[in-house]
Amino acid sequence: MPLAREESSPLFAGTAAGTLRLIFYLTMAMVLMVLDHRNGWLWRLRYTTAIVVEPVYRLASLPADGMHALGVAFADRRMLTEQNQRLREDLLLANAKLNRMAAVAQQNQRLKELLDTQHSLELHVQLARVIGVDLGAYRYRMMINLGSRDGVKVGQPVIDAHGVMGQVVDVLPTSASVMLVTDPDHAIPVMVERTGLRTVAYGSRNGEQLTLPTVPMAADVRVGDKLLTSGLGGRFPQGFPVGEIRSVNPAPTGMFLEAHALPSADLDRSDEVLLLHDLAEPAGPPPPPTPAGPPADQAPAPASSAAIPRVPLPAIPSSSAKPGATQTGVPQT
């Protein structure tokens, strides 16, 4: 007499009900994905469930913090002394530089006042700590421990001691997510320090480098050139170091040069970062001066209406790839 097999787990044939259930759940998951891709639900949901999500993040960052604390606790005295010595030298050097810069800054300020521009060399910053959480997918984002309760807004630039790190893309009540400059979806307007050439630096696929795919063929760009933020687009203030050119080759299309640069900020190692508060200019280049020509009744009619449309260069994550992330309240010009 054959053994009666249990019906609940058949050895070979599955039940139709199970397959139907699978199809149902897969459809639900796909609907969720499409809706999220269109509307950016994920961060809204995260914001509403922040009371659960944020403690979990803090909990998950405990091991990393613990390792850090252990590293400090077990570092021997000699190493600490050396580090202290080095930091002191750095401080001395920085102070000396600052003292010399103070005079130059003042002069610059005066000249700029003469020129009637509004760039300021002062920084309004807020110190933030990085929360060691793996945000999954590719590692081009990080969490910091300040959020909307501390006045953090989407779009604020984040820097460290060496250069630009990225910008805030999503905000929770007491934490925020920062998109690094090496994210493939990120673009930042830059300027070559030596020649003043302006171009745009994108993140790259491997997340280690910056790519400058549209350098003109005739442009003078060399390995070792420093990149600064150009201030165009109004998202990043002018003059912060972004990276250093590591290679320049003709692009595959043959129409441009393609340069690769190493970001100057310590993207992997930073524990503490600075959030910039003064957003350069709210909307790109300053408004064009009102045309001061001959009186309107004497001027030819079509010429005055041919004002150049201003197109602010977007320093925001490219909206084609991540519409959800940018629609959640980026102040579009």
Partner 1 sequence: MSRQRVSFWWFVGTLVFALLLMLVPLPHVLEPFKPYWPALVLLYWALESGDQRITLGLAFVLGVCADLLNGVLLGEQALRLCVLAFIALRFRSRLRFFPMWQQTLAILALLLNDRFLLLIVRAFAGEATPSALWWASPFVSALLWPFLFLLLDDLRMRLRIQ
Positions in the binding site for partner 1 (CB under 8 A)? 8-11, 14, 18, 21-22, 25-26, 28-33, 35-37, 41-42, 45-46, 49, 53, 56-57, 59-61, 63-64, 132-139, 184, 205-206, 268, 320-321
Closer by beta carbon to partner 1, 31 or else 255: 31
Whole-number minimum distance, CB 273 to partner 1, in Å? 16
Q: Are 329 and 248 in contact (CB under 8 A)?
A: no
β partners of residue 192: 227
Closer by beta carbon to partner 1, 157 or else 203: 203
Whole-number minimum distance, CB 68 to partner 1, in Å? 12
Whole-number minimum distance, CB 332 to partner 1, in Å? 20
Whole-number minimum distance, CB 293 to partner 1, in Å? 47
Q: Are 229 and 192 in contact (CB under 8 A)?
A: no
- Give CA–CA dist 131/331, Å, rounded: 26
| Host H or E run for residue 36 | helix 16-39
Closer by beta carbon to partner 1, 137 or else 311: 137
174: closest CA among 30, 54, 318, 298? 54
Whole-number minimum distance, CB 192 to partner 1, in Å? 26
Coil, strand, or helix at residue 195? coil
Within a 10 A sphere around the Cβ of 282, how many other Cβ atoms? Answer: 9
59: closest CA among 178, 150, 175, 148? 175
- Helices 41-48 and 50-60 cross at an angle (nearest 10°) of 90
Size (the chain), residues:
333
Six-digit token string for 194: 């030596």
Whole-number minimum distance, CB 205 to partner 1, in Å? 5
Closer by beta carbon to partner 1, 57 or else 240: 57
Burial code (b: 16+ CB inside 10 Å, e: under 16) for 182-212 equals: bbbbbbbbbbbeeeebebbbbbbeeeebbbb
Closer by beta carbon to partner 1, 65 or else 150: 65
Closer by beta carbon to partner 1, 239 or else 323: 323
Whole-number minimum distance, CB 319 to partner 1, in Å? 11
Whole-number minimum distance, CB 25 to partner 1, in Å? 5
Cβ-count burial of 300 within 10 angstroms (0-12 exposed, 13-18 middle, 19+ buried)?
Answer: exposed
Coil, strand, or helix at residue 143? strand
- Give CA–CA dist 332/154, Å, rounded: 11
Closer by beta carbon to partner 1, 136 or else 196: 136
Coil, strand, or helix at residue 139? coil
Closer by beta carbon to partner 1, 135 or else 248: 135
